């Protein structure tokens, strides 16, 4: 399953934001903006890429607008009223309030002042906004039974929102424009830590790290004060709604502190109308403004504000001496020009901070300049390890998405899983993380919900008997010579090399084993009286066959309760081998019993059968004897078993460390 992103606007450019995302069988249009730099058909996204037939209601599930700037909402009336889209449209309450003002102001400027052909009328704007559903922050909107969306605070301008969309287990965020640092009238962007397949983010300042906003404010106020103090006049053109309010707050506060009497003139128009909504929508502003609202509305400016048109761009282009406003009007330029940036967009650090916080599986960059986007892409992939793309307009990018299957689980599976975790030792629980991995079998039957079952469930379903595959090897382990080496096959001793074998030391088959068993039985009787019952099946009896894993008793996996009560040759050598395992691999839970070791399915016990079918006979060195250990394990633990066998083939057990092999109390049994 994939998520497809079709970029219709703001691909490798700033302007005309419009991105169509196909996710989980749903198709969402994020923003529907116009490009302010074009007057031909390039001003609008190429909507034919959505549907060649023009049936946009069938092609789109919904439209979501992030904020009221024209490069994000400017094409919406054209798309709904002229192209015929009648489906769901969502935007926040402030955006729904301010977008009509922006659209009507644009229409008046283009048609009534410039005399251009009308793209949409005032009635079109009104009818378009009737189709809009207003949403609040963090309000989960169920668009249909599968698609849900949620808006998060984006800063930037009043009402701007990041949009979280989720279909099934697939999720994404479209940021729109956002700001990761607060300013005077808005807070910083805020979003929950979400698990995302895709993040589509603006990259206006992809390579810029902005200086302190306080330094910029001081520079701005210093320039303004210097001009008015010398008897001059200051003209402040602001292109974007929202920046006008920011500078109004800054100037108003400074005029109060400096007790300046110079008037600030407000041009009648959009900003005055917008201020009315800013006063009403205090809840969407910064914490400082909300706290001061009880005594004063910060947007009740005592000194007013003057907003200009688009002449500012011409003034910033070089050092012009004359500017042509239109074919009939020409103005001489005699003013000084001081350019400063109070952008509400996040910078490169803010983008990286957001990506680091959300850690999406994939990133797509929009709303930026191509060379800078390429640099940011490199940083994202090298520093964060996240695949990143920056498609051009009318290009599509597909990224993989998670695909999950809803399944049931049987009670037997759950019981086995929890029992497995419950039976872990304290040391093992400290060695693992809180994440638990459950192993089961996915059973899919026709016309039934898939379910995860245990092995026994599957056998019952198939009416089959359980079959297990065990691997086995009788592994030789080198034993360092002490004064005498024990011979487990005879119960006697072997002379060291160079020693005479003239003194009678006849083999006594089973004698040593019987002595150990008799001594163990005596200690068990004492243990039974003092500490409770111990079963003799926990130890090996003289009559018990010990010729390999195929004849091992069923209860050998249970730890013996008498381990701490006595030591035998078997137990002592197994203890030495256990220590070797623990020193060479990370094994937290080796089970040690009277006659065997167990780690997961791997078991090792001393083998007394010289004809063991799992043994490969090898020559004996001059200074070492070999004791054989019969080992068995399941296929699932084959890698572990081979590591353990490798240790056993290389290790040398020093029997001088177990010189106490048989306590004095056992001597009476040797006389049998």
- Catalytic positions, written as ranges: 202
Q: Are strands 470-480 and 451-453 parallel, antiparallel or unpaired?
A: unpaired
> Tokens 């092999």 correspond to what residue?
661
CB environment 170-185: b (16+ within 10 A), e (fewer): bbbbbbbbbbbbebbb
Q: Which tokens go with 571?
A: 């137990």
Enclosing H/E stretch for 326: strand 322-326
Sign of CA dihedral 500, 505, 509, 510: negative
Enclosing H/E stretch for 330: strand 329-332
Strand blocks (E) in 527-617: 591-592, 597-599, 602-606
- Residues near 386 by Cβ (< 8 Å), separated by ≥ 6? 355, 359, 360, 361, 362, 363, 380
Which ranges of 188-341 would DSSP assign to H, the alpha helix? 213-229, 243-258, 270-280, 287-292, 311-316
Closest-CA residue to 102 (of 130, 141, 72, 82): 72
Q: Which tokens go with 50?
A: 């959505």
Q: Which tokens go with 69?
A: 């700037």
Cα-based angle 448, 450, 452 (whole degrees, multiple of 5): 135
- Rounded Cα distance, 34 and 71, in Å: 5
Task: State the SS3 of 571-596.
Answer: HHHHHHHHHHHHHHCCCCCCEECCCC
Closest-CA residue to 150 (of 162, 160, 132): 162
SS3 173: strand
Which ranges of 432-497 would DSSP assign to H, the alpha helix? 455-462
Q: Count the Cβ atoms, other than its own, within 10 Å of residue 430.
A: 9
Q: Which residues pair with 603 in a beta bridge?
A: 598, 632
- Rounded Cα distance, 494 and 517, in Å: 22
Task: State the SS3 of 82-114.
Answer: HCCCCCCEEEEHHHHHHHHHHHHHHHHHHHHHC
CA 645 vs. chain centroid, Å, equals 39
- Residues near 134 by Cβ (< 8 Å), separated by ≥ 6? 90, 91, 92, 93, 96
- Are the C-beta atoms of 408 and 452 separated by less than 8 Å? yes
């Amino acid at each position: 399953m994939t998520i497809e992103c079709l970029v219709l606007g703001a691909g490798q450019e700033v302007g005309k934001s419009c991105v169509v995302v196909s996710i989980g069988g749903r198709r969402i249009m994020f923003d529907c903006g116009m490009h302010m730099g074009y007057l031909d058909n390039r001003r609008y996204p190429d909507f034919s890429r959505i549907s060649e037939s023009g049936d946009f209601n069938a092609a789109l599930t919904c439209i979501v607008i992030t904020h009221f700037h024209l490069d994000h909402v400017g094409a919406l009336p054209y798309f709904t009223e002229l192209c015929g889209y009648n489906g769901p449209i969502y935007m926040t309450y402030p955006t729904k309030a301010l977008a009509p003002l922006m659209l009507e102001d644009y229409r008046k400027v283009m048609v009534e002042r410039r005399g251009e052909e009308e793209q949409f009328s005032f009635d079109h704007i009104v009818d378009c906004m009737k189709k809009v559903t207003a949403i609040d922050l963090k309000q989960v909107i169920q668009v249909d039974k599968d698609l849900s969306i949620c808006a998060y605070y984006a800063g930037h301008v009043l009402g701007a929102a990041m949009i979280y969309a989720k279909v099934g287990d697939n999720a994404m965020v479209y940021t729109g424009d956002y700001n990761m640092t607060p300013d005077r009238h808005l807070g910083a962007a805020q979003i929950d830590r979400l698990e995302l397949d895709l993040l589509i983010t603006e990259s206006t300042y992809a390579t810029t790290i902005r200086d302190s906003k306080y330094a910029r404010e001081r520079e701005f106020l210093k320039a303004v004060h210097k001009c008015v103090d010398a008897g001059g006049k200051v003209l402040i053109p602001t292109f974007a709604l929202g920046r006008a309010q920011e500078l109004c707050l800054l100037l108003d506060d400074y005029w109060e502190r400096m007790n300046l009497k110079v008037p600030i003139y407000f041009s009648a128009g959009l900003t005055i109308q917008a201020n009315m909504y800013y006063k009403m929508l205090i809840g969407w502003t910064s914490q400082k403004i909300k706290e001061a609202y009880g005594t004063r509305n910060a947007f009740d400016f005592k000194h007013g504000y003057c907003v200009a048109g688009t002449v500012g761009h011409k003034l910033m282009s070089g050092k012009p001496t004359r500017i042509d406003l239109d074919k009939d009007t020409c103005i001489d330029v005699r003013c000084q020009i001081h350019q400063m940036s109070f952008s509400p967009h996040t910078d490169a650090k803010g983008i990286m901070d957001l990506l680091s916080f959300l850690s999406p599986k994939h990133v797509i960059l929009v709303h930026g300049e191509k060379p800078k986007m390429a640099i940011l892409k490199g940083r994202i992939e090298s520093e964060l390890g996240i695949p990143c793309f920056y498609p051009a307009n009318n290009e599509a990018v597909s990224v993989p998405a998670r695909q999950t299957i809803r399944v049931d689980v049987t009670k037997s599976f759950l019981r086995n899983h929890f029992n497995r975790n419950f039976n872990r030792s304290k040391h093992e629980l400290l060695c693992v993380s809180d994440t638990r991995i459950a192993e089961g079998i996915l059973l899919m039957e026709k016309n039934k919900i898939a379910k995860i079952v245990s092995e026994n469930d599957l056998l019952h379903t198939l009416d089959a008997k359980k079959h297990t595959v065990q691997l086995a090897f009788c592994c030789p382990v080198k034993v360092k010579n002490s004064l005498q080496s024990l011979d487990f096959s005879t119960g006697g001793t072997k002379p060291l090399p160079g020693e005479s074998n003239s003194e009678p030391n006849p083999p006594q088959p089973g004698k040593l084993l019987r002595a150990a068993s008799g001594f163990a039985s005596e200690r068990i009787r004492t243990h039974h009286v003092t500490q409770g019952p111990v079963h003799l099946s926990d130890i090996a009896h003289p009559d018990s066959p010990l010729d390999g894993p195929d004849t091992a008793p069923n209860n050998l996996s249970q730890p013996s309760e008498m381990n701490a009560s006595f030591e035998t040759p078997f137990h002592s050598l197994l203890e030495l081998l256990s220590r070797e395992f623990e020193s060479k691999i990370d094994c937290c839970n080796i089970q040690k019993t009277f006659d065997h070791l167990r780690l997961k399915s791997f078991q090792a016990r001393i083998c007394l059968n010289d004809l063991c079918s799992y043994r490969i006979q090898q020559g004996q060195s001059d200074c070492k004897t070999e004791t054989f250990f019969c080992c068995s394990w399941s296929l699932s633990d084959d890698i572990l078993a081979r590591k353990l066998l490798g240790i056993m083939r290389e290790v040398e057990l020093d029997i001088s460390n177990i010189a106490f092999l048989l306590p004095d109390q056992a001597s009476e049994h040797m006389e049998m």
